């Protein structure tokens, strides 16, 4: 079982977003980014895993997932950015901001994240 291996994308992300982390775990965040770059399907798998984490009802887990997402934007190059720029991914992320809980810190962080990456939201993004 590949997912059980110590350095799968899922295990890195679980450690990087663990709600019991007292602060950001940059070793795991970096491990996750490195693993994305090593795997052929890395960006696709990572994007799917990240969407799931950003939707976490546990706010600290969701916030850490946004930090991981930002680290990936900086460190995983064009392949990852293209994956994140796809409508499906953005659509999933935007579902995070629901009227019920739109005053949580993770929503605030997410909105800031969108403002930092306007290129993803232009109609002509490639």
User: pLDDT (tens digit, 9 = 90+) per residue, 15-38?
Assistant: 999 999 999 999 999 999 999 999
Where in the chain are the domains? 11-17+26-117
**Number of helices followed by number of strands (H, E) in the chain:** 7, 0
Q: Is 2 helix (H, G, I), strand (E, B) or coil?
A: helix
The answer to whether 29 touches 67, Cβ cutoff 8 Å, is yes
The stretch 95-114 carries a mean pLDDT of 67
Measured CA to CA, the distance from residue 123 to residue 10 in angstroms comes to 32
**Tens of pLDDT, residues 73-82:** 999 999 999 9
Structural class in CATH, domain 11-17+26-117: mainly alpha
Measured CA to CA, the distance from residue 22 to residue 75 in angstroms comes to 24
Q: pLDDT band at residue 114, thresholds of 50, 70 and 90? A: confident
Measured CA to CA, the distance from residue 100 to residue 110 in angstroms comes to 16
């Amino acid at each position: 079982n590949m997912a059980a291996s110590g350095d799968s994308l899922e295990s890195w992300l679980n450690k990087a977003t663990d709600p019991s982390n007292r602060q950001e775990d940059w070793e795991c965040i970096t491990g996750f980014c490195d693993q994305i770059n090593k795997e052929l399907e890395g960006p696709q798998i990572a994007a799917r895993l990240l969407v799931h984490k950003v939707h976490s009802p546990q706010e600290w887990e969701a916030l850490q997932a946004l930090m991981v997402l930002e680290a990936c934007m900086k460190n995983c190059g064009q392949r990852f950015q293209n994956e994140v720029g796809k409508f499906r991914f953005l659509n999933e992320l935007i579902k995070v901001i629901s009227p019920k809980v739109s005053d949580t810190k993770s929503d605030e962080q997410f909105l800031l994240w969108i403002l930092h990456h306007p290129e993803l939201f232009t109609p002509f993004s490639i």
